[in-house]
Structure 1
Amino acid sequence: MLVNAGQTGQRWIPAKNVPEKNRILCFLAIQAMSNDNGKNPMPNDKDNDDLVFTAFKNMDLYGKDHNVLSGLLGMTTCSERSCEFQKFLQRLDTYPTAERESHLFEIGSLLTTNNCAFLDLATNQSGSHALRTLFRRSPALDHLIFLSVSMNFFSLMTNLARVETGCLALNEVFQEIRGKYRDLIFKRVAKNADWLSFDHYGTHVVQNFLTLENPGATAAIAERLCGCFFRLAKERQGSYVVEKCLKSCFAREIVLEEFRGNDQEWVRMANDKFGNFVAQCALKVMKEEGMTPLLREFIEKLRPYFCTMKIGYGKNIVRLIQEDIERCL
């Protein structure tokens, strides 16, 4: 439960400005939260006069606050009333500063009273747009919205990873965050590494994590990707994920074990447009790490296909083996 005006007994609490980086991340989070294209309507989208507070069952609101919240939700979550909400904010802009700030803080207090309510509001298409409209109108209001986003961050993170700007913002945060929250983020990314690695932007988040060389997180990501390495290797972005796993001492064995267990897929990967780069990486890593017996085993699996490989994507692998690796065996 967030601290709001009703709990403190004050109408408006001045708040320190939210740092610019946090403002940006907050805005991106709110934008990413609205991923349902209107398929997750709020209770007051229903065509009746009674507001059904199914999403707000934990809220303790009576009388004036209940009526105000009802009207506010009606304007923020119904697409037909978006113009009404805009006009409401325009009227507020004409108020004296202190009165305007007070009203904005009350709005923020009502919308962030309950975490579940805020999350439901933010994942509604119209509600998310309304929150973005409110953002940066008042330092105190920004503070309330930022706190709500922070408290729901781990629920939002995987959605953020699938948005280009969100992916960039998350990677920047990962470089700076320390302590228990860093570990929690590692666990969340590792848990979702399988589908993130196949996502156009999510793959960059996984790749960034692998370069951080966190033993537990790297091993967890590799374990989560078990059974996917051949398929990932044949995709442009996915191939980078596999290569980073191969170059990490915390994930390498898991990848090589999967490659070793399927001769047919190993040959197919070596002849694939993107997979051949992964195969080259695997051979180079085994050579550099002195894994000679295993290296010979992988080469012998390819040798019967050298003639056909020379006229396709596998030609670079044949050249690598004949001109570089075999000289050292």
Structure 2
Amino acid sequence: MAVNDDTFSMSTMFDALPYPNGVSGSIPPPGFPPHASSATNLHAAMFSLMTSCEGLSYFKETISTLDKTELQRMASLLTSDSDYFMAIVTNKNGSKRVQKLLGISDDLDALFCAAILRRFLHITSDKYASYVTIRAMIVFEEEKKKAMYEHILHHALDLACDQHGCIALNDIITDADDPYYRNQILDLVAYNALRLSNHASGNFVVQHVLTLFDSRSIRNIAVSLRGHCIDLSFKKYGSYIMEKLLKAEESSMVVVVVELLQCEGDRLMRLGRNEFGSFVVLKALIMTTKMSRMDLFWRLVEKLMPFIHLLRRSHGNNIANILESLKLRC
């Protein structure tokens, strides 16, 4: 069967596949007509190789038989059409196998980089395809990685507010090895910390940045959230962020505790009794002690003590226990 010189070797491809005629009996990937042609068969065969239920070891064994030229043609076929590439990388097996092809050579990476950038947001916010972006950010060389970073910065907030994109963004932040781009992403998260803290997915990015113990980012997030600590403490995810601010470092702890001290007594009492806020108040008592800020600790105790009986009959029982132990010492 004749094929063009710029396509992957049909004989190599068909010999590698576990089907008698080299083509799966399954439905071809989206975008390809049902009538058979050599090009359609080749795409369908490649789709089968990339997404079949055969183990990953089988795929690794298959590509190990290919020379540099054949690998280049394979990558060219995989990335020649954006919809075709998306159909592969959004497949669980397809994603894993594309990841195995990344980092083999600079020429292959150039093709994959271009394909990822064409559909960057869709790929990086997909449950399976996002791992292709994550892997690319580890193995790509500097020039391609820079192009990827530019797209990450442009789409960072969209990724942060996506169920799967926020996971990918967190992984990218963790592995970021370029100081300039890492700081740019961290600053973007910190500047938008309030918006992200109120988002079901975005809050996980703020939490993640706080766990990196980057002092500059911690201070910037604390500044962005100043004046909103009480409101956030009443919310599930917001309370997680407040707890992380309390334990991150003294400066961020002070921001949260000062707001607790400035709010009206009955509001602090309601916060202490709240399902989520009680953990923030309890963490404030613990961290002011651990960080030797006894001035803040005793001011907080003084403000809470009149409500000990109300705290006892609520989610604030552990707060009441601390207050009770202090009464017994006096």
Mark yes or no: TM-score above 0.5.
Answer: yes
Map of 1:34-45 to 2, 5 A cutoff? none
Match of 2:222 in 1: 222
Match of 1:114 in 2: none
In structure 2, what residue type is equivalent to 1:226?
Answer: R
1:100 deviates by 9.1
Match of 2:272 in 1: 270
1:130 deviates by 7.2
SS of the equivalent of 1:295 reads: helix
Alignment TM-score, normalising by the size of structure 1: 0.59
Q: CA 1:102–1:303 in structure 2 vs 1: closer, same or farther (change >3 Å)?
A: closer
Moved more, 131-140 or 248-257: 131-140
Find the partner of 1:93 among 33, 40, 49. Answer: 40
* Cα distance in 2 for residues equivalent to 1:12 and 1:167: 38
In structure 2, what residue type is equivalent to 1:159?
Answer: D
- Residue by residue, what CA displacement relative to the aligned partner does 1:11-68 show, whole Å, maximum 9, x if unpaired? 9799xxxxxxxxxxxxxxxxxxxxxxxxxxxxxxxxxxxxxxxxxxxxxxxxxxxxxx
| Contact 1:12/1:105 (8 A) holds in 2 | no
Is 1:143 the equivalent of 2:113? yes
Q: Which runs of 5+ in 2 are unaligned?
A: 9-28, 44-69, 102-107, 121-147
SS of the equivalent of 2:170 reads: helix
Map of 1:56-135 to 2, 5 A cutoff? 85-87=31-33, 92-94=39-41, 132-133=86-87
* Cα distance in 1 for residues equivalent to 2:74 and 2:35: 10
1:206 deviates by 1.0
Q: Which runs of 5+ in 1 are unaligned?
A: 1-10, 15-82, 109-128
1:263 deviates by 2.5
**What fraction of aligned residue pairs are identical, expressed as a percent?**
25
Map of 1:207-286 to 2, 5 A cutoff? 207-249=207-249, 250-264=251-265, 265-286=267-288
Q: CA 1:268–1:101 in structure 2 vs 1: closer, same or farther (change >3 Å)?
A: closer
Q: How many aligned residue pairs are there?
A: 230
Q: CA 1:177–1:101 in structure 2 vs 1: closer, same or farther (change >3 Å)?
A: closer
- Residue by residue, what CA displacement relative to the aligned partner does 1:67-108 show, whole Å, maximum 9, x if unpaired? xxxxxxxxxxxxxxxx99443998643469999977876767
In structure 2, what residue type is equivalent to 1:144?
Answer: A
Match of 1:45 in 2: none
| Contact 2:271/2:277 (8 A) holds in 1 | yes
Match of 2:175 in 1: 176
1:199 deviates by 1.9
Map of 1:286-305 to 2, 5 A cutoff? 286-305=288-307
Pairwise CA RMSD of aligned residues?
3.5
1:284 deviates by 1.0
Q: CA 1:155–1:13 in structure 2 vs 1: closer, same or farther (change >3 Å)?
A: farther
SS of the equivalent of 1:210 reads: helix
* Cα distance in 2 for residues equivalent to 1:315 and 1:195: 32
| Contact 2:79/2:85 (8 A) holds in 1 | no
| Contact 1:229/1:255 (8 A) holds in 2 | yes
Match of 2:23 in 1: none
* Cα distance in 2 for residues equivalent to 1:146 and 1:198: 30
Alignment TM-score, normalising by the size of structure 2: 0.59
Map of 1:196-215 to 2, 5 A cutoff? 196-215=196-215
SS of the equivalent of 1:251 reads: helix
1:240 deviates by 1.2
Q: CA 1:305–1:133 in structure 2 vs 1: closer, same or farther (change >3 Å)?
A: same
In structure 1, what residue type is equivalent to 2:263?
Answer: N
